[in-house]
């Protein structure tokens, strides 16, 4: 004798529902960083900008601290300094860049 018992929700629906809840919890817990860095091309190289909630706070088209008015040689160099400045802002310390910082980051200038 075979008994067919209808379930209110089939097993596959339960699995999909559990997966959807897991995804929603993960995205709800992920924090979006309000500080965003970006690089941009200049006439002689690269620069960077840092924005807070979409508004530009810092737009740096030249290498700070050095005596020359020179842009960063590569996009990677510009982004390295941008990340450093962003971290300083997050730590609520002065975002100034020193020559020592540039040397530690191996920025060509």
Query: Could you read off the pLDDT of 41-71 as tens digits, one per residue?
Result: 999 999 999 999 999 999 999 999 999 999 9
Q: Which of these, 68, 45, 85, lies nearest to 101 by C-alpha position?
A: 85
Query: Could you read off the pLDDT of 19-39 as tens digits, one per residue?
Result: 667 677 766 666 678 999 999
Q: What is the 3-state secondary structure (H, E, C) of 42-70?
A: CCCCEEEEEEECCEEEEEECCCCCCCCCC
Q: What is the pTM of this model?
A: 0.70
Helix, strand or coil for residue 104?
A: helix
For residues 86 and 37, what is the distance between their CA atoms, to the nearest angstrom? 8
Phi/psi at 59 (5° precision): -130, 110
Give 27: exposed, middle or buried? Use CB within 10 Å, 0-12, 13-18, 19+: exposed
Is the distance from CB of 45 to CB of 70 less than 8 angstroms? Answer: yes
How high is the pLDDT of residue 9?
52
Token pair recorded at residue 29: 């817990």
Distance of CA 48 to the CA centre of its chain: 13
Query: Could you read off the pLDDT of 63-96 as tens digits, one per residue?
Result: 999 999 999 999 999 999 999 999 999 999 999 9
How high is the pLDDT of residue 2?
62
């Amino acid at each position: 004798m075979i008994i067919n018992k209808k379930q209110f929700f089939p097993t596959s629906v339960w699995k999909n529902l559990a997966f959807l809840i897991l995804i929603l919890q993960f995205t709800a817990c992920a924090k979006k960083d309000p500080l965003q860095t970006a690089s941009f091309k200049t006439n002689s190289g690269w620069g960077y900008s840092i924005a807070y909630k979409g508004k530009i706070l810092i737009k740096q088209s030249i290498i700070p601290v050095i005596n020359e008015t020179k842009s960063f040689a590569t996009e990677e160099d510009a982004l390295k300094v941008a990340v450093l400045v962003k971290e300083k802002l997050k730590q609520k310390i002065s975002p100034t860049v020193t020559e020592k910082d540039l040397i530690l980051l191996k920025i060509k200038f």
